[in-house]
Structure 1
């Protein structure tokens, strides 16, 4: 350790630092020599070079007696060593430091007088506080990502000597930052069937820590659970998780989501870089029940039947799935292509690119509620002619388009095919609650 105002200090966690003050003991006096004698009056006298010594050369000479020091001229006694320990968190030269860790300087055997933590590139010092016993200083505000910080401190050791030291460390670089996005977006109003979906920028291996950092509350008091999205092979995603209650959200309620992910270790060295608070509202209950047995759609608003429309569903070769679906998005007009569902020219079920009106998406795989093509209007209520979609009359399709939006629920009955995969849109409500909460 180098002491002094410009010196460094031991830069390992818990290193013992000894501040030692010593004095060299100097003894006054003269040693007999061939040219120097102690006079009778205590002074120094010179003898002639030709004069023989007063004693025989073979006889030993008695050592000279040092003069008695004058009062007050004694040399100072050595000062005892003043040892103390400094514990630095993070350690000096540490890299990839989680900003949530903060910085701490702790001493034993000394008193902390001052600590400063600041970015080495400039800027304001990081706020901190000293413990009541004045031996520990801790930051009280968050550190930034991808920043080098310098730590400087001064202590007063038990010998009353001021000692100074310092260190540096660097926080997590951008490559190891992680964040999350939620659907629906903050401030949205959705249907009662809308699950909350969280997509993470980096793979999550520490699921428990991430789930605990996300808090969902609702004015309805409904409790829910997380479900990491599996694909149809059963492989569970490490970047997408959904959250829903046991039954549909209560109508006209407010859902508040807090993601306290700052500093959360996602696993593999990936660290959450921020916190958010978001709210989502639900509107009234809107449910469309499509029954293949009757080829009808019955629309219920707040539990009351509002309208009934004839429909056509998927053929035996392209059946509509059973169970619950959730409206994902709406298009005034959109273009359907056979290629999007794996068909190519020459296939028996191929069709040329087609523009359809008032289309509401139900799945990623291409299931929509939409206005049936003119040639299919005669099939409504009678026979299935679609590639898995629900075809309606112009009036029915426009009514559905204007009444139903993201989060509203469609239930399909009696197709003997299904249900839709949970990852093919929002098929979450087809997963039993026991399976949902019991996901390993």
Structure 2
């Protein structure tokens, strides 16, 4: 049987039908290659119109680290931190150039890490870490920084010393190794409390020395605590405090003496009860004793005195050369003492003022002061022609009216 053949007319009919279908939206394009209407273009692909279905899109890691890489003069009180967004921290470590590791803590969700151990001054630190993004890809990195140099490290000496027992008139004193410009920051870093509940205030004598006292003498037999947190405190001009310390000071009985330049007497009381009165000689008209409150500073069984230290020279009627005195208790830095009068002055005690500003007593009175009074106890000098000693010449804090003390 012969194979079927298309007639020219039938071919024409079929082609016409195909053209008609195409014109009506059929399966084939009218005059082009085969095409699937669902994939007419890449942009129209339903698989790729939804992010992450065929080709996952991972949000980039967000990383914040402090201090900044290669930072210098970093405050050792600053916290070293690492924070990650769109990922997690796998590992973090902080180490000094000398190999000392600094403790740190990773958050439960792995989004942050922070150093918990202290940093040192003048030290280079390196912190390395590994972070993982949402696709599980890990990235390792290392950063470094250097803390405040030794030249910008500020220290302070504290008095009284921790555990010391002092009298009721003893101010608290800090002497700084560097000038303090940010006084308010320093005062905020020093918390003073007392078992008596007494409040006090600071008085700055210079940019390197500050004292603290209450409005009235410390309560007898109380305890005063200084909680000093100066580590990392900016004193100004980049000078950074380098220590924290708690100091406890014990206050003894209230021991107060009155030296009367007119009556030529020295009268002492303990906790408000008079315990003794002795004849005295105070400064003469050329060298009158300083008036007001003088706080006992230190004591010497024998103290060497030199007339040249107060400007006296041989030939001056007041010149006494050099001599040693017994039972000496210092009242001022410049050289006023309570001490046993010299043999030449002994006939005049209780009668005439003839010292060079010191309070001269007989052997019994001088020894009682030496044996029974101590640092922080107080002598009030009255009826003298002398002016007040400079407030920082010893502890002249109690000669400053309370309303003017805080500055």
What TM-score, normalized by structure 1, do the two folds share? 0.78
> Does the alignment pair 1:112 with 2:94?
no
The residue number in structure 1 matching 2:133 is: 157
Report the Cα distance in structure 1 between the residues aligned to 2:265 and 2:365, rounded to whole angstroms. 11
Q: Tell whether the 8 Å contact from 1:82 to 1:159 is kept in structure 2 after alignment.
A: no
> Does the alignment pair 1:200 with 2:201?
no
**Where do 5+ consecutive residues of structure 1 fail to align?**
1-76, 230-236
**Where do 5+ consecutive residues of structure 2 fail to align?**
1-53
How far is the alpha carbon of 1:183 from its aligned partner?
Answer: 1.0
Report the Cα distance in structure 2 between the residues aligned to 1:421 and 1:409, rounded to whole angstroms. 16
Report Cα offsets for 1:14-50 as digits up to 9, x if no partner. xxxxxxxxxxxxxxxxxxxxxxxxxxxxxxxxxxxxx
Moved more, 109-118 or 284-293: 109-118
How far is the alpha carbon of 1:203 from its aligned partner?
Answer: 1.1
The residue number in structure 2 matching 1:239 is: 208
How far is the alpha carbon of 1:293 from its aligned partner?
Answer: 1.8
> Does the alignment pair 1:375 with 2:351?
no
1:220 to 163, 181, 196: 196
The residue number in structure 2 matching 1:138 is: 114
Report the Cα distance in structure 2 between the residues aligned to 1:202 and 1:88, rounded to whole angstroms. 32
2:72 to 95, 116, 122: 95
Report the Cα distance in structure 2 between the residues aligned to 1:141 and 1:407, rounded to whole angstroms. 39
Report the Cα distance in structure 1 between the residues aligned to 2:173 and 2:313, rounded to whole angstroms. 34
What TM-score, normalized by structure 2, do the two folds share? 0.84
1:258 to 227, 230, 245: 227
Report the Cα distance in structure 2 between the residues aligned to 1:414 and 1:94, rounded to whole angstroms. 63
> Does the alignment pair 1:351 with 2:320?
yes
Report the Cα distance in structure 1 between the residues aligned to 2:99 and 2:279, rounded to whole angstroms. 70
3-state DSSP of counterpart to 2:364: helix
How far is the alpha carbon of 1:131 from its aligned partner?
Answer: 3.1
The residue number in structure 2 matching 1:121 is: 98
Report the Cα distance in structure 2 between the residues aligned to 1:188 and 1:81, rounded to whole angstroms. 65
How far is the alpha carbon of 1:132 from its aligned partner?
Answer: 4.3
3-state DSSP of counterpart to 2:60: strand
> Does the alignment pair 1:409 with 2:378?
yes
The residue number in structure 2 matching 1:360 is: 329
2:288 to 319, 342, 349: 319
Q: Tell whether the 8 Å contact from 2:223 to 2:249 is kept in structure 1 after alignment.
A: yes
The residue number in structure 2 matching 1:384 is: 353
Report the Cα distance in structure 2 between the residues aligned to 1:93 and 1:133, rounded to whole angstroms. 28
How far is the alpha carbon of 1:251 from its aligned partner?
Answer: 0.6
Q: Tell whether the 8 Å contact from 1:152 to 1:166 is kept in structure 2 after alignment.
A: yes
How far is the alpha carbon of 1:401 from its aligned partner?
Answer: 1.1
Report the Cα distance in structure 2 between the residues aligned to 1:213 and 1:283, rounded to whole angstroms. 27
Report Cα offsets for 1:398-422 as digits up to 9, x if no partner. 1111111110110011113222211
Report the Cα distance in structure 2 between the residues aligned to 1:80 and 1:347, rounded to whole angstroms. 99
1:303 to 269, 272, 277: 272
3-state DSSP of counterpart to 1:99: coil
Report Cα offsets for 1:216-267 as digits up to 9, x if no partner. 11111111111011xxxxxxx1111001000000111111111111111111
Report Cα offsets for 1:325-354 as digits up to 9, x if no partner. 000011100111011112222333222101
Moved more, 77-86 or 242-251: 77-86
Report Cα offsets for 1:152-200 as digits up to 9, x if no partner. 1111113331111120111112221112221111111111111111111
Which residues of 2 match residues 74-89 of structure 1 at below 5 A? Answer: 80=57, 82-89=59-66
Report the Cα distance in structure 2 between the residues aligned to 1:129 and 1:271, rounded to whole angstroms. 26
Residue correspondences, number: 354
